[in-house]
Amino acid sequence: MPPRTRPCSAGVRQERLRKAEEFWRVGRDAMDLADPATDVADAAVTLFVHSGIASSDVICCARLGLFSQGEDHRQAIALLAQADAGSSTHLATLLELKTEDRGRLLARAGEPRRARSRRPRGRAPVDRGP
């Protein structure tokens, strides 16, 4: 089946960036506010995965002028590889989290708050469009 893509204007790219940042922010906030964090770690990981998907759309929009519009994430990875091979590897890893046993992630999320606060926090996606 041919990849399903959608043309991408500057407005669409901005909207996907807004979504990526929103998913990232809410996932991070959920992890920071949860007590214990394991109560929401699974949901937070899902939000981080959605942030990564939206971020890949931003990269594809900026570099290719289109983004993947389908349920098959392999197509999104292949399209992203055309725009940025390194990022496609990261997206593939991130998408594995959707189905992976998240026990390791849940255990890490359950660390005491002060231990979590010493870990560097990730950064939200940044639009580096044309």
Q: What is the DSSP string of the chain?
A: -PPPEEE--HHHHHHHHHHHHHHHHHHHHHHHH-SSGGGTHHHHHHHHHHHHHHHHHHHHHHHHSEEE-SS-HHHHHHHHHHH-HHHHHHHHHHHHTTTS-THHHHHHHTS-HHHHHHSPPP--------
Q: Is the pLDDT score of 11 beyond 90?
A: yes
What pLDDT is stored for residue 103 in this prediction? 52
Question: Greater confidence, 110 or 118?
Answer: 110
C-alpha to C-alpha distance for 129 and 63, rounded to whole angstroms: 8
CA distances, 22 to each of 51, 110, 113 (Å): 8, 23, 23
Per-residue pLDDT tens for 37-70? 567 877 888 899 999 999 999 999 999 999 998 8
Whether the pTM exceeds 0.75: the reply is: no
